Structure 1
């Protein structure tokens, strides 16, 4: 066969469509929404080359209209987890042996399918199943997923090109082998792109996958699987199952061929998984790779030199886009009391214009939270805050689940910088503000650093470059993604690799080569052209 050192198409970030009134993309998306809501989707599991259905048929409903059944999925059990592992292991040798450029071509084709004929379909599924407005779906399900596929192919080639030096008479080579065993991808409800990247990143490096998405996200997950299949992904490389988390974990974390987990979810769940892996470490053929991004209590620190309007816009967007259901969402803000009234008025002016409702009405900025469990949790935080004498409700504070799980964007002002909503991750449209004395700015920096166990994202708003430098250095460990004069959300693949440390995860930076390196096990090969035939060295001579 012919071989070569192949250069893949250089990746560019997928342009974000705006969906303005009268635009072609808006009309196409409206049509996709109408088509998706006119039928009840049948959503099987995908194990090996089979579509698997069970007797346990579950409804999938729209969060913004919980009487609207979007489809049915089929929940599996431990037997289906075993089948998925077997399918992954059976596919492993042939997939790992496939030339890297052939694997890359599949994912580049998937990216083009998402950019073209599947764009409206994946956006519509994300909007309806996860209650995202058109723009939030576009930047997630279309653009970020496309970017992950294209940039990861590019990063993979950079890794393969990293080769050691060779001395005279020797040729040193480095192989980047897939891990020995299968990878478990455990993905969240809030980002279709994360749900797609967690199985495809290790698969790109030659691994085979058992993929368990959050059950609230299966509508879009099924569309992704359809795209992967149409792109030519062989059977068994990615196996999609709908199984309760503990049931899946009971099988997977005791299997000797478990090689790693790619996870996004709660800190509590990730810590439990890490503990279980540790307890079973003697069972595995090799030490599993544990890669996880968990949560955040993301901060915005405002200096008195900041532009008040820019601060207000950053807080509104950072806290309330996608109902605050981003692990990077602005959740706590520290504002000097000297500029609070100006910032507050700008925020109240914006909130007066913001509409809350169904994703099918494109004028709604805020939609529903994901399900009743989430709604009840967020509502309890708000109710408890109302009963706290140290907390004042500045805006919002109301909620209603009669038709959909709607919570009004809520701003709280706390006199206590260590109050519950300043410290705990809420994962909803709730922003808590603490007003500080500008004379105590350096103390406030330390307060930001010490308040939360998380270290995912954060930002500083200031026009003073000395202040920006000071905060950037003092908060070097407080956020894996740090923003200057911007909201702490919206990381772009290839531009701001994403991840945090402390209680926010392993900081393995999705959207960079750092993440892909976790899914290979290098082998160094030394070839000596003329082998020595005498054991002795010159120093032995008399």
Structure 2
């Protein structure tokens, strides 16, 4: 096991790094070694208030920046980001356990790609247009509060921060206390790129203290939250008194429907591809295809592919590039996944592979066995609750309508997956799913497409032109000459 360097992070308010030695500190644990790799100070409502005051003052001038000035800023950020991408990837691996290959190719790279995407959209975006005799004008909403998660730490701030800066908003940000060191590096990047003081402010802390202070603050005009549905409800309640806009990207329990018309080869490829997608990032993905719907007559075929695919996935040291999966983020998360696996066994679902405990040969680190249950009833808790780990439920169905009904019989609606030979049939099934993003025949993520969900998976959209809209107010100037 290769140990990581020691990290430290602190607050960034009004263009200054704030000394916080007098505050309580939290140790950040490397989930692969179970050892501390650094610490962060824990902020409070007063720290949030200082950050909001800085952002409020900065908004006066930054909201008036021209398109060209904002483009220039985003381009400088992108250039500085490229210089620090290796540092970013190493921090992500140390703080939340993503394998080195994933941290480099996807985790760290995603932040850069969101800034590049924002540049491309800003170059073309219409902030003003005529509608009959009325001028419609889109203006920055104001001071934005961001609360971001640990599972894709830079991706999730990138798809909020890039459009916020592109549209002229200012920011108060609470990164996850479990993944704070990538946040530190991003703030260093922003400072080096010359982001004006007060435009982006960062305060560390926990959700009930700093997160709640951001959600409640009357001078924050919009809150963008990514995290669990339960925490999202708390954010919305906190925000209600000040009538601020709230956008949320929450949990998921995505259906992966494999239709019965695929050839044996394409069927195996679709099943295996869904399992690999599920297990990326140790299953800690809100859009993971964790419910695999299989035609009843092809269950044996699917079970063989699921079992073989999962048992070939190497789990271990995230710094070893031969490993597909590293640990999950924390002991708390590991225990939660174990409870779900035990629940599935107690309910009588058939354990196809994996199960309780760490993979063989691993005695340290929060590693989880890639686990599959088969013959699952869609009403079982393991098929209804978000496990947020490498656990799949294989569920048989009789007809397309049967699969659609079961897929929609869930409180979540973030994503979905449909594979089949007949494109019209695939489209018909996809149109019927109540979810915000549907992947057809293995299509990969499009970072310019809107990302968000239905039902308890949240509201609003991130990424692409639709993501810009969340940071803008609409003004109508009637009778404009």
- Fold match, TM over 0.5? yes
Contact 2:450 2:463 in 1 (8 A): yes
Say whether 1:300 aligns with 2:256: yes
Could you tell me how far apart the structure 2 residues matched to 1:148 and 1:528 are? Answer: 35
Match of 1:521 among 466, 470, 473: 473
- Structure 1 residues 239, 161: CA separation in 2 closer, same or farther (over 3 Å shift)? closer
Match of 2:351 among 382, 385, 393: 393
Instruction: Please give the residue correspondences for 1:316-335 in structure 2 after superposition, counting only pairs within 5 Å.
Output: 316-335=275-294
Instruction: Please give the residue correspondences for 1:65-84 in structure 2 after superposition, counting only pairs within 5 Å.
Output: 65-67=33-35, 69-84=36-51
By how many angstroms is 1:352 displaced? 3.0
Which residue of structure 1 aligns with residue 207 of structure 2? Answer: 245
Q: CA RMSD in A?
A: 2.2
Could you tell me how far apart the structure 2 residues matched to 1:141 and 1:360 are? Answer: 14
Which residue of structure 2 aligns with residue 45 of structure 1? Answer: 11
- Structure 1 residues 268, 337: CA separation in 2 closer, same or farther (over 3 Å shift)? same
Once the two structures are superposed, what CA deviation does each residue of 1:236-291 show, in whole Å capped at 9, x if it has no partner? 1111111221222443344331201011111111122222322x14xxxxx42211
Contact 2:259 2:418 in 1 (8 A): yes
Match of 1:407 among 368, 390, 414: 368
Match of 1:465 among 420, 423, 433: 423
- Structure 1 residues 255, 316: CA separation in 2 closer, same or farther (over 3 Å shift)? closer
Contact 1:491 1:498 in 2 (8 A): no
Contact 2:85 2:109 in 1 (8 A): no
Contact 2:258 2:267 in 1 (8 A): no
Q: Which has the larger radius of gyration?
A: 1
Could you tell me how far apart the structure 1 residues matched to 2:214 and 2:96 are? Answer: 27
By how many angstroms is 1:166 displaced? 6.8
Instruction: Please give the residue correspondences for 1:243-392 in structure 2 after superposition, counting only pairs within 5 Å.
Output: 243-278=205-240, 280-281=241-242, 287-306=243-262, 307-389=266-348, 391-392=349-350
- Structure 2, unpaired ranges of 5+: none
Could you tell me how far apart the structure 2 residues matched to 1:343 and 1:414 are? Answer: 11
- Structure 1 residues 528, 383: CA separation in 2 closer, same or farther (over 3 Å shift)? closer
Which residue of structure 2 aligns with residue 200 of structure 1? Answer: 162
- Structure 1 residues 517, 528: CA separation in 2 closer, same or farther (over 3 Å shift)? closer
Could you tell me how far apart the structure 1 residues matched to 2:61 and 2:193 are? Answer: 18
TM-score normalized by the length of structure 1? 0.82
Which residue of structure 2 aligns with residue 151 of structure 1? Answer: 117
Which residue of structure 2 aligns with residue 26 of structure 1? Answer: none
Could you tell me how far apart the structure 1 residues matched to 2:379 and 2:219 are? Answer: 45
Once the two structures are superposed, what CA deviation does each residue of 1:515-537 show, in whole Å capped at 9, x if it has no partner? 211212233446766xxxxxxxx
**Partner-residue secondary structure (3-state), 2:182:** helix
Say whether 1:231 aligns with 2:196: no
Contact 2:31 2:328 in 1 (8 A): yes
- Structure 1 residues 142, 250: CA separation in 2 closer, same or farther (over 3 Å shift)? closer
Match of 1:493 among 417, 428, 447: 447
**Which has the larger displacement, 150-159 or 367-376?**
150-159
- Structure 1 residues 461, 254: CA separation in 2 closer, same or farther (over 3 Å shift)? closer
